[in-house]
Structure 1
Amino acid sequence: MAPFDSVTARLILLLAETGSIGRAAEREGIATSAVSRRVSDLESRLGVVLFDRSAHGVKLTTAGAAYADGCRTVLRAIADLDAVMADFGSGQRGSLRLACTSAALTGRLPELLARYALKHPGIALDIQEMGAAKGLVALDEGRADIAIVSDNYDFTRFEIKPFEDDRVWVLAPPDHPLADRIEPRKDIAFEAVLSHPIVGSHHAGSLDRLLGDAATKAGKPFAESVRVESFPALVRMVEAGFGIGFLRSTSLHLLAGTDLVCAPLAEPWALRQLLVARRKSSPLSAAMKSFIALCSETYSPAV
């Protein structure tokens, strides 16, 4: 068998993620023919078919799924080896790769990173904005050292610490029927707002999943009037009167300059957190230790 090729391994994982040779080639900045040739050459050397190909794209075969799992293991090991070797240096240089949700980047994280960069000028920061699910995949595949994500995921494989409290709030225009019952100093029950049209956001995102699960348990499906893909767009659509909306507390700054009213949800499930997560099996580099310590020192639980 030919030596392990990390470039081809990353292409295999990218194809598994995108299901498209064209999208994988575009993401890697190479020709689609080059991607196809690498996969075909690898299949010939291995003597197995890794992907089922159709007009709709590509999908891993059973053998392909096993090979992709092996690629993740080897790439993680390579990433871990790099981290270990970095710690053999002076300790004054290194890198820290962060996978962060947009909620984290609109909360206290930017100020914290500025403090970290000032204290550790030799540490190069690689900050990648992505959804929580993709952030945890990035940890699994060794593409990130630390992820700052919402708390409603499976963290069995990860070591986690609280980063920031992030309660769920409801918002509405001042002339909405609910407006008289919505004020920042008073909790409001989730069921009290569910019968009103709702502006949905971030399909399959952490907040969407959280609210959808709560609505299902309450036996009252969402009455979505429209769905958007960003929180600024959600605020604008609520302003325009399309319905009420939901935001986490880290996004409430988006209400500045509007006349929208808001209130925290009363239910315990709405008392959420952002978490600092790392893979339990990954080496804990000096850069990671110092960042996690700073997060813990500066975390103040909500009263």
Structure 2
Amino acid sequence: MQQFDSVTARLIMVLAETGSIGRAAERESIASSAVSRRVSDLESRLGVVLFDRSAQGVRLTAAGQIYAERCRNVLREIAALDTVMADFATGQRGSLRLACTSSALSGRLPELLALYADKNPTIALEIQETSASKGLAALDDGRCDIAIVSDNYDFSRFEIKPFEDDHVWVVVSPDHPLASTIAEQRQIGFDQLLCYEMVGIHQTGALDRLLAEAARKAGRTLGERVRVESFPALVRMVEAGFGIGFLRSTSLHLVAGTDLLAAPLAEPWARRQLLVAQRRNSPLSAAMKLFLTLCVQTYLPSP
């Protein structure tokens, strides 16, 4: 059968109810001839007679009764579908797929997601913790809706907004030669740190790339003594005396309860951000719009 015609289906139901082409045309605000033509065309296409015609009006045939009943079911489903789609369009239903770095999950994102979930309980959240490069690849491929990542990547294909300030800090043990300097200063220059061994983190990760590039521009290399794959492990290795370590501000909570000393780096390049990224020129679902609005409303830049 050809494509379902909801207008004609509606006419069939009104004709069955009124028993009159004239009354059906009046109710639907169309010409009687248009009603007759639609019904005749439908009967010709189906190869069945839907109505018995007489001077008293029209009455459904057996085939017409089945057709009208099924039309009623289809139109109900269409109305229900419209209602469901309206819920998605207004954000009352839907899903939000996020790809985010560990730094994002260590910062304000969990509380923001809790607020979002509380405001939008019918929107399903799918959260994937990943590296920034993999998060952007997932965004590019359509495997996620929004990515929250560090700022030192190529964002030419994406639209971005600031999500959270995430400056770079150095942490040292209390018996390290730099301990007194850090205790006395509000910030410290990167060049003062390059002669000391360090605990490396996440090779080719965002922070690793950032520090390596800064050292290269200074004509130096970073003296790694050991390398770890998590920030809690980095903190423990710094505590044990394996060298200085670098953390972003979203991970500074890991220093709480330790004797480690910390200070932000003084250089402008160390004043980093986490960014919320979306595909450029891509339509936004209501769930995405609600989340992006919340991100902007709750972002507070560091002084």
Q: Normalising by structure 1, what TM-score?
A: 0.71
Q: What is the count of residue pairs matched by the alignment?
A: 219
**Aligned match of 2:8:** none
Quick check: 1:87–1:286 contact (8 Å CA) kept in 2?
A: no
**Aligned match of 1:106:** 106
CA distance in 2 between partners of 1:98 and 1:212 (Å): 28
Quick check: 1:139–1:279 contact (8 Å CA) kept in 2?
A: yes
The alpha carbon displacement at 1:257 in A equals 1.3
CA distance in 1 between partners of 2:276 and 2:176 (Å): 37
CA distance in 1 between partners of 2:84 and 2:199 (Å): 48
CA distance in 2 between partners of 1:125 and 1:290 (Å): 13
Task: Flag structure 2 segments of 5+ consecutive residues without an equivalent.
Answer: 1-81
Moved over 6 A (4+): none
Over aligned residues, Cα RMSD in angstroms? 1.5
Task: Flag structure 1 segments of 5+ consecutive residues without an equivalent.
Answer: 1-84
Q: Normalising by structure 2, what TM-score?
A: 0.71
2:208 is equivalent to residue 212 of structure 1: no
Matched AA of 1:111: E
Matched AA of 1:153: Y
**Aligned match of 1:180:** 180
CA distance in 2 between partners of 1:282 and 1:259 (Å): 48
Indicate how the Cα distance of structure 1 residues 123 and 175 shifts in structure 2: closer, same or farther if over 3 A, else same.
same
Q: Pick the structure with greater CA Rg.
A: 2
2:236 is equivalent to residue 239 of structure 1: no
The alpha carbon displacement at 1:107 in A equals 0.3
2:250 is equivalent to residue 250 of structure 1: yes
CA distance in 1 between partners of 2:154 and 2:180 (Å): 38
Name the SS for the 1:199 alignment partner. Answer: strand
**Aligned match of 1:223:** 223
**Aligned match of 1:271:** 271
Deviates more, 1:212-221 or 1:183-192: 183-192
Percent identity of paired positions between Structure 1 and Structure 2: 69
**Aligned match of 2:85:** 88
**Aligned match of 1:201:** 201
**Aligned match of 1:299:** 299
- C-alpha distance after superposition, 1:109-143 (max 9, x if no partner): 00000000000011000000000000000001100
CA distance in 2 between partners of 1:157 and 1:258 (Å): 42
CA distance in 2 between partners of 1:132 and 1:273 (Å): 13
CA distance in 1 between partners of 2:223 and 2:264 (Å): 20
Quick check: 1:184–1:262 contact (8 Å CA) kept in 2?
A: no
The alpha carbon displacement at 1:282 in A equals 2.1
The alpha carbon displacement at 1:185 in A equals 5.9
- C-alpha distance after superposition, 1:60-79 (max 9, x if no partner): xxxxxxxxxxxxxxxxxxxx
Name the SS for the 1:98 alignment partner. Answer: strand
- C-alpha distance after superposition, 1:170-196 (max 9, x if no partner): 000001000011138611000001100
Deviates more, 1:275-284 or 1:140-149: 275-284
- C-alpha distance after superposition, 1:50-96 (max 9, x if no partner): xxxxxxxxxxxxxxxxxxxxxxxxxxxxxxxxxxx999342311000
Deviates more, 1:183-192 or 1:242-251: 183-192
Name the SS for the 1:183 alignment partner. Answer: helix
CA distance in 2 between partners of 1:181 and 1:268 (Å): 20
CA distance in 2 between partners of 1:185 and 1:86 (Å): 61
Indicate how the Cα distance of structure 1 residues 86 and 139 shifts in structure 2: closer, same or farther if over 3 A, else same.
farther
Name the SS for the 1:149 alignment partner. Answer: strand
CA distance in 2 between partners of 1:221 and 1:293 (Å): 42
2:169 is equivalent to residue 169 of structure 1: yes
Matched AA of 1:154: D
CA distance in 2 between partners of 1:288 and 1:184 (Å): 45
CA distance in 1 between partners of 2:205 and 2:83 (Å): 35
Deviates more, 1:268-277 or 1:280-289: 280-289
- C-alpha distance after superposition, 1:5-60 (max 9, x if no partner): xxxxxxxxxxxxxxxxxxxxxxxxxxxxxxxxxxxxxxxxxxxxxxxxxxxxxxxx
Name the SS for the 1:90 alignment partner. Answer: helix
**Aligned match of 1:119:** 119
Report 1:26-41 matches (<5 A): none
The alpha carbon displacement at 1:281 in A equals 3.1
Name the SS for the 1:302 alignment partner. Answer: coil
Quick check: 1:184–1:263 contact (8 Å CA) kept in 2?
A: no
Indicate how the Cα distance of structure 1 residues 191 and 142 shifts in structure 2: closer, same or farther if over 3 A, else same.
same
Indicate how the Cα distance of structure 1 residues 231 and 86 shifts in structure 2: closer, same or farther if over 3 A, else same.
farther
Matched AA of 1:100: C
Name the SS for the 1:215 alignment partner. Answer: helix
Quick check: 1:87–1:285 contact (8 Å CA) kept in 2?
A: no
Matched AA of 2:87: S
CA distance in 2 between partners of 1:196 and 1:230 (Å): 21
